[in-house]
Amino acid sequence: MGKHKLENTLNELKATGKPLFIPYMMAGDGGINQINERIQFLEECGASAIELGIPFSDPVADGPVIQDAGLRALQEGTTLKLVLDEVRKQKESRNIPIILMTYINPIWNYGYEQFAKHCDTAGVDGIIIPDIPMEEEEDIAAALSNQSIAFIRLAAMTSPDERLEKIAQDSEGFLYAVSVNGTTGERQQHDKNTLDYLKKLTALSSVPVLAGFGISNPEQAKSLAAYCDGVIVGSKIVHLFAEGKQTEIKELIGETVR
């Protein structure tokens, strides 16, 4: 058994032999009342876990689709505190793991200890922080560790092998393998060397490895998942929600995890 519930849940799903699928959704896009509705919908679609984005004014890793969703969510008045309050309401009825994706600044404002405690109360299982360098993560890592919340690390294709090794060993819950160079957003295809990179990370990591960035259809998802444990899809899901195309979300997830 791994140290974190998230890791154990993903490993159980992995044992069924199907690729893992983690959809990303922007919290507060479509209104605060859509947060729990959409989480429940994605759970019913067969998602393995949910990556819940906290909108932020300076989202350096986000491409245009997610940036726009973030602006809409901010206009709805979405804050980290509001999202945690919403997520807590559904804690008992929810079976799917929740992963928060937030830049470090909102966590800093909230207070690291306070943030970790409130995540625990809300039943949050893991955290992704795209803009904290390995060298500066000690304090937030300690706060999360006190509450047994998985601190998911991001690996980049440009990282040297030594660094990838360290990231793969440190990562908790799963390892997020960023599979393009650049920001989030749909891509036609991935480089050939992406597959070697995924293979390498899978060999280095003791937690499940999921590829994310640039994935928008089941074919792409399956071809990458053949070299790791599953995929994360953001922009495509955000875009389909914004257009009210829930049926297509269901098909995308269903066809990938089948």
Ligand X SMILES: O=P(O)(O)OC[C@@H](O)[C@@H](O)c1c[nH]c2ccccc12
Tell me which residues touch ligand X (CB under 6 A).
24, 51, 53, 61-62, 66, 101, 130, 184-185, 212-215, 232-236
Contacts of 177 (CB under 8 A, 6+ apart): 155, 197, 198, 201, 209, 210, 211, 212, 228
Given 62, 86, 125, 172, which residue is catalytic?
Answer: 62
Q: Minimum distance between the CB of residue 52 and ligand X, rounded to whole angstroms? A: 10
Report how far residue 249's alpha carbon sits from residue 237's, in angstroms, rounded to the nearest whole number.
6
Helix then strand count (H, E) for the chain reads 12, 8
Q: Minimum distance between the CB of residue 92 and ligand X, rounded to whole angstroms? A: 27
Report how far residue 153's alpha carbon sits from residue 172's, in angstroms, rounded to the nearest whole number.
7
Q: Minimum distance between the CB of residue 176 and ligand X, rounded to whole angstroms? A: 7
Q: Minimum distance between the CB of residue 246 and ligand X, rounded to whole angstroms? A: 18
Helix axes 218-225, 192-204, angle to 10 degrees: 50
CB of 7 or CB of 51, closer to ligand X: 51
Q: Is the dihedral of CA 113, 73, 234, 160 positive or negative?
A: negative
CB of 56 or CB of 110, closer to ligand X: 56
Given 7, 29, 51, 172, which residue is catalytic?
Answer: 51
Helices (H), 171-217: 192-204
Q: Minimum distance between the CB of residue 231 and ligand X, rounded to whole angstroms? A: 9
- Which of these, 134, 181, 174, lies nearest to 157 by C-alpha position? 181
CB of 143 or CB of 232, closer to ligand X: 232
Question: Which pair of structure tokens corresponds to residue 254?
Answer: 């269903």
Q: Minimum distance between the CB of residue 123 and ligand X, rounded to whole angstroms? A: 20
Contacts of 80 (CB under 8 A, 6+ apart): 54, 102, 106, 107, 109, 110, 115
Phi and psi at residue 39, to the nearest 5°: -60, -45
For residue 100, list its beta bridge partners: 52, 127
51 among known catalytic residues: yes
Mark 149-176 as b/e (b = at least 16 C-beta within 10 Å): bbbbbbbbbebeeeebbebbeebbbbbb
Residues classed as catalytic: 51, 62
